[in-house]
Chain A
Amino acid sequence: MPHDGHDHLSSSGHPFRKDNDTPLTYWQLMEISVRELMITKGEFSANEINKQIEIMDARTPANGSVLVARAWTDPDFKKRLLNNGAEAARELGFDIGPMHLIAVENTEYIHNLIVCTLCSCYPRNLLGFPPDWYKTKEYRSRAVKEPRSVLEEFGLDLPAEINLRVHDSTADMRYIVLPMRPKWTHEMNGDDLARLISRDSMIGTSIIDSNP
């Protein structure tokens, strides 16, 4: 059975919630009931549910960091990534299923920000679950109208000379931001570089620090 709460931190870096001892809620009751009905009817097995949970648990922002770090160190790979993000992810061995992925590049003149105003579409098959804030009405409503103000709340002040491009995931595409590589990292290897690349930098609400 998938691990659900004995370590202090989960793989996503957040504390586990200890829910098994809490009073059963109506919607938890429904989850158990629907799952068991589906198993009884032979739609899938308990093992398949557990396997799918493991697959999603293994999808974390670290996957995206590896993709970005490789693009930073391998210009040909970067071209392929910008041309077809999904194929580039599969090239590195990531199983992203049928997801379509577009990588958008931050430059000296362009900063990119990703949102789904209509729901919460996110490149989950690569990066795992989105942060809670990404799904809030506050983020979804303001990211396409006052994105600079939103970025300020995340501690990112964009100079007026930089063009901000907001991408609204309204259909089948999913997006990852390719952050700019700071000059001070020029001697670092792929693994060390990947550690610098945060989930939020791949959504566009932060950048990699220009100072070490």
Chain B
Amino acid sequence: MTIAAGTSIKIKKTSQPGHIRTPYYIRGKTGVIERSLGEFKNPEQLAYSLPSSLYELYRVRFKMSELWDRDIENPNDTVEAEVFAHWIEEYNNAT
């Protein structure tokens, strides 16, 4: 089921090795789904020439004040990153 744009979500916080396209600085952070991008193959599999299913890919928007502890230039500036569904830990579609 696709997560709706505007939903508040949290990124998984794990730190395993391997080819991962979820940057460290967003892990464990809370953001908002900006839009769903459709389904794509998982780079974690493709990088090792392994077969891959399709996973929903989302753009997620984070506030700078959420991402960083200190020296924040402007708390309402944002970073938007593309995140695969399996890195999204919790959300509530009924917001």
Contacts and interface: CB of A to CB of B under 8 A. Distances in A.
Interface of A: 100, 117-118, 144-149, 160, 163-173
Interface of B: 21-23, 25, 37, 40, 43, 57, 59, 61, 64, 67-68, 71, 73-74, 76-84
A163 B68 CA distance: 17
7 contacts: A118-B21, A164-B77, A167-B81, A170-B21, A170-B22, A173-B37, A173-B82
A146 B40 CA distance: 31
Contact of B43 (A100, A145, A163, A171): A171
Contacts of A163: 74, 76-78
A166 B43 contact: no
Top 7 A-B residue pairs of the complex, sorted by shortest distance between their CB atoms: A171-B82, A164-B77, A168-B81, A148-B73, A166-B79, A170-B82, A170-B81
Nearest to B73: A148
Contacts of B67: 144-145
A179 to B, nearest CB: 18
Contacts of B21: 118, 170-171
B68 A168 contact: no
A172 B23 contact: no
Contacts of A167: 79-81
A131 B25 CA distance: 25
Contacts of A172: 37, 40, 57, 82
